[in-house]
Structure 1
Amino acid sequence: MGGPDENPELWAFLESLHCGEILSGTVTAIERFGVFVALDDGPDHPVFPGVGFITIPELSWLPIEAAFDVVQVGRRVSAEFLQFDTWNLEARLSLRATQPDPFQAFADGTAVGQKLRGRVTKLVPFGVFVQVTHGIEGLVHLRELTPTPVASPSDVVQVGDDVTVVVTEIDRERRRLVLSRRHSSSEHR
């Protein structure tokens, strides 16, 4: 893409940005891998439709299928500056960083040992994922599914089943929720 010599204006602009700074712009293109944003205060990009770029995971705290679920071309956005991508000469941005993280709000109101109702969303070889509230899923390990061991999650539950689970771990850093179903049906040991 060229160094500071080839695109001095763009390079100087990107070097002037600070991590955590909020930049505004307009969505110019939506690709499979992310979203291009033409920044209000920045110069044009020599190759891409915008100097700002938001990867799919940085669009939303909630799992999304496609960028179209969150943004449309022509939409105005304000996003947090993450880093200067010197390889592509672009400003990596985060849209979700400007919004409250629903996982932290959930963690604030939830305690280990608490019972929750949820719906099974996915079966994996090592357990099942259960959605306990909008956008928040937790993992029930295979060994935590039943009091007695089973070979496969499908022996016990199917996708769409409503289940009662107990919170065994809330990891705020990794935004991970670990659940158990073993003790939810009966009282504690």
Structure 2
Amino acid sequence: MSEPAPDPRLQSLINQLRPGAVRTVKVTGFDGADVLVQLVDAAGEKAETGRIPGHEASMRRVEHPSELFEVGQEIDAEEIGRWREGELHLSARACEIPALRSFLLAVERGQVVTGTVAEVHNFGVFVHIDGEPNGFCTGFIRVPDLTWGWINHPSEVVEAGQRITAEVVVTETRSGQVTLSLKALQENPLIRFADQVGCVLTGPIIKIVPFGVFVQLARDVVGFLNLSELTDESVETPDRLVDEGELITVKVAAVDLQRHRVRLGPAGRADRI
């Protein structure tokens, strides 16, 4: 069975985060926390106007962008789009540190990189990518990109100081960050599991939520059984019917490779063991 097609919503987000063209602009003033600019062409002549939103002025924290720029100063900024009836918006922070920008532009989506885990948090993992400029930590792995399996905390997969190999998902010059994925280098377990549709399997309940239960069906494969499939009786929550760790026999109703989901149904009735 072939790999699932890329999620078009993810692709759209990645396209928005990709680095834009770099333009030379002249600071003309300030509008609150925003920097007003005028584009300058190669001959130094005036061109259209634009703005640098306050949060795109610098990676440093300042009270006001006037601490960074003066009226008449020329700077490089990256195009990030058009708002307010076509007004051009730019990012100065994306061009603020040349060594960092050069490193980020050299890292491409799909590239396999190595690095060292710097910090592990409940929301994700920070990674020092080999070759990044000193003083920066450019890599980040979101929790869903750590593994295909079910985990309660990223520390179940990696630890600080560990050497890892990961695939680049997207590089963001504006944040100075490279989003990485460990599971992109692992086989999607649902590809092999997809032929189990229609089969009756038994596994432990690993999580109970108000609308149903999650069942471990195989290594790195978890399915969801809706509350309505647990009983014909009217109950408010599944924890009145089953317990975590309890074995339950279910039927694999569907495998969605695109969303990485397994839908379960009753095996006759969802038998408990």
Q: TM-score, structure 1 length as denominator?
A: 0.82
* d(CA) in 2 for partners of 1:23, 1:34: 18
Q: How does 1:40-55 map to 2 (within 5 A)?
A: 40-45=130-135, 48=136, 50-55=137-142
Match of 2:10 in 1: none
Establish whether residue 118 from structure 1 lines up as the match of residue 208 from structure 2. Answer: no
Match of 1:167 in 2: 252
SS in 1 for 2:253: strand
CA offsets per residue over residues 61-120 of structure 1, 9 Å max, x none? Answer: 21222222222222211111111123420111111111122233322x412x21111222
Establish whether residue 58 from structure 1 lines up as the match of residue 58 from structure 2. Answer: no
Q: How does 1:4-153 map to 2 (within 5 A)?
A: 4-45=94-135, 48=136, 50-107=137-194, 109-111=195-197, 113-146=198-231, 148-152=232-236, 153=238
Q: Which amino acid counterpart does residue 214 of structure 2 have in structure 1?
A: F
SS in 2 for 1:42: coil
SS in 2 for 1:183: strand
Q: Work out whether residues 171 and 178 of structure 2, in 8 Å CA contact, stay in contact via their aligned partners in 1.
A: yes
* d(CA) in 2 for partners of 1:179, 1:4: 46
* d(CA) in 2 for partners of 1:145, 1:27: 42
* d(CA) in 2 for partners of 1:51, 1:185: 47
Unaligned 5+ residue runs, structure 1? none
State the number of aligned residues: 180
SS in 1 for 2:118: strand
Q: CA deviation at 1:29?
A: 2.6
In structure 2, the CA distance between the partners of 1:12 and 1:56, relative to structure 1 (3 Å rule), is same
Structure 1 or 2: more strand by fraction: 2
Q: CA deviation at 1:32?
A: 3.5
* d(CA) in 2 for partners of 1:38, 1:155: 46
In structure 2, the CA distance between the partners of 1:156 and 1:65, relative to structure 1 (3 Å rule), is closer
Q: Work out whether residues 230 and 269 of structure 2, in 8 Å CA contact, stay in contact via their aligned partners in 1.
A: no
Unaligned 5+ residue runs, structure 2? 1-58, 60-91
Q: Which amino acid counterpart does residue 18 of structure 1 have in structure 2?
A: E
* d(CA) in 2 for partners of 1:18, 1:166: 42
* d(CA) in 2 for partners of 1:101, 1:24: 21
Q: Work out whether residues 251 and 265 of structure 2, in 8 Å CA contact, stay in contact via their aligned partners in 1.
A: yes
Q: CA deviation at 1:184?
A: 4.8
Percentage of matched positions with identical amino acids? 37
Match of 2:266 in 1: 181
Q: Relative contact order (C-alpha < 8 Å, sep 6+): which is higher?
A: 1
* d(CA) in 2 for partners of 1:87, 1:6: 9
Alignment RMSD (CA, Å): 2.3
Q: Which amino acid counterpart does residue 130 of structure 2 have in structure 1?
A: D
